[in-house]
Structure 1
Amino acid sequence: MTQGLALAVLLLIGALAIIGPSGLLAWGENLRLLDQRKGRIAVLEKEHQALANRVALLNPDNADPDMVGEQLRRDLNVVHEDEVVLILDHE
């Protein structure tokens, strides 16, 4: 009786090692998901670098005048009286 129970437990453990959520059959899927997530991390790191650069350019201690002017125009619709606004249709 105990030998049969021990055999059943061993078979269950073996089956889980092969078909379980972290078993051999799931290995390929896990590698595919890992590659997807590495790609997403690369995209997010690039966005983070762009935002960090923008923050550095808008730092109140040493703000880039061109960046500040661009930000004012975009966010507050501020236009100097001698400027001409061209609206471009983006398609």
Structure 2
Amino acid sequence: MKVVRMFRRAVRAIVPPALFLGLTAYFGWNAMQGDHGIHAYHQQLQLREQALQAQRDANDEQIVWKRRVASLDERALNADMLDERARAMLNLARTGDLVIPYGPHDKLY
């Protein structure tokens, strides 16, 4: 009987602290490594920063494109420059134009 009583006392003395220590370790691990833990929070912060940087890049590109589109306005185009560029792209010349030939490796633009 004494052995059984000593065994019960030992179990009663060891099991509750071991159980609570296990629960504490479980919740501590989840607080650090879990889906909503500290490491996941830092990863979400990094993803947020990347998304904000992508948004800033997209806004910058949108500003550039808005400026380009605004420069396509009829009042913004110079007719002489447009004519010159069109002739250069189409490789055309007027009858009175002076044509200066370039070598095969020399580029006009």
TM-score by length of 1: 0.51
Which of 41, 47, 52 is the matching residue for 2:61? 47
Instruction: Choose from 57, 75, 78 the match for 2:90.
Output: 78
> How many angstroms does 1:65 deviate by?
2.1
Number of residues of Structure 1 aligned to a counterpart in Structure 2 = 69
Q: Which has the larger radius of gyration?
A: 2
TM-score (norm 2): 0.44
Q: Distance in 2 between matches of 1:24 and 1:50?
A: 39
Q: Which runs of 5+ in 2 are unaligned?
A: 1-26
What residue in structure 1 maps to residue 78 of structure 2?
A: 65
- The one-letter code sitting in structure 2 at the alignment partner of 1:55 is V
Highest RCO, 1 vs 2 (Cα 8 Å, sep ≥ 6): 1
In the TM superposition, residue 50 of structure 1 has moved relative to its aligned partner by: 0.6
Q: Give the secondary-structure state (helix, strand or coil) at the position aligned to 1:46.
A: helix
Name the counterpart of 2:52: 38
State the secondary structure of the residue aligned to 1:64: coil
Change in CA separation of 1:79 and 1:56 when aligned onto 2, cut-off 3 Å: farther
CA distance in 2, matches of 1:80, 1:46: 37
Distance in 1 between residues matched to 2:58 and 2:76, nearest whole Å: 25
Instruction: Spell out, residue by residue over 1:24-47, the C-alpha distance to the aligned partner (whole angstroms, 9 max, x if none).
Output: 431000000111111111111111
Alignment-derived partner of residue 28 in structure 1:
42
Counterpart AA for 2:70: A
Identical-pair percentage: 18
1:63 alignment partner AA? A
Structure 1, unpaired ranges of 5+? 1-13
